[in-house]
Structure 1
Amino acid sequence: MSLLNSQSDLNSLSLRNHFLISMPGLNDPNFSHSITYICEHNEDGAMGLVVNHTLPMKLGEIFDQLDIDDAADIGEIELLAGGPVQLERGFVLHSNDKCWESTLKVSDDIYLTASREILEALAKGEGPENLLVILGYAGWEKGQLEQEIAENSWLTVPANSHVLFNTETAMRWQAAADYVGIDLNLISQFAGHA
Structure 2
Amino acid sequence: MVTLAPGVLLIADPFLKDPNFARTVVLLCEHQDKGSFGFVLNKLFDQQLDELIPEVLVSKVPVYVGGPVQMDTIHFVHQQPDIISGGMQIGPGIFWGGHFDTVVAHINDGTVDLDKIKFFIGYSGWSSGQLGEEMEEKSWIISPATTTLVFDREEQQIWQRALKSMGSNFAMMANFPIDPSLN
In the superposition, the TM-score normalised over structure 1's length comes to 0.80
CA contact (8 A) 2:81 2:95 kept: no
Query: Where does structure 2 lack aligned partners over 5 or more consecutive residues?
Result: 179-183
Does 2:104 match 1:119?
yes
User: Match of 1:122, as an amino acid?
Assistant: I
**Alignment correspondent of 1:156:** 142
- Rounded to whole Å, the distance in 2 between the matches of 1:35 and 1:89 is 20
Deviation of 1:165 after TM superposition, in Å, equals: 1.8
Distance change >3 Å, CA 80–CA 49, structure 1 → 2: same
The number of residue pairs the alignment matches comes to 172
1:146-188 deviation per Cα after TM superposition (whole angstroms, max 9, x unaligned): 1001101111111111112245111111111111111224669
TM-superposed deviation, 1:86: 0.8
Q: Please give the alpha-carbon distance, in whole angstroms, between the structure 1 residues aligned to 2:73 and 2:110.
A: 22
The answer as to 2:61 corresponding to 1:77 is yes
Q: Which one of the candidate residues 149, 152, 175 is aligned to 2:161? A: 175
3-state SS of the aligned residue for 2:45? strand
Q: Give per-residue Cα distances to partners, 1:127-153, cap 9 Å, x unaligned.
A: 245111111100111111010011011
SS of residue paired to 1:27: coil
Identity %: 26
Q: CA RMSD in A?
A: 2.2
Unpaired segments of 5 or more residues in structure 1?
1-11, 190-194
Residue in 2 that maps onto 1:32:
22
The alignment's TM-score, normalised by the length of structure 2, stands at 0.84
Structure with the bigger percentage of helix = 2
Conserved? CA contact 2:12–2:140, under 8 Å: yes
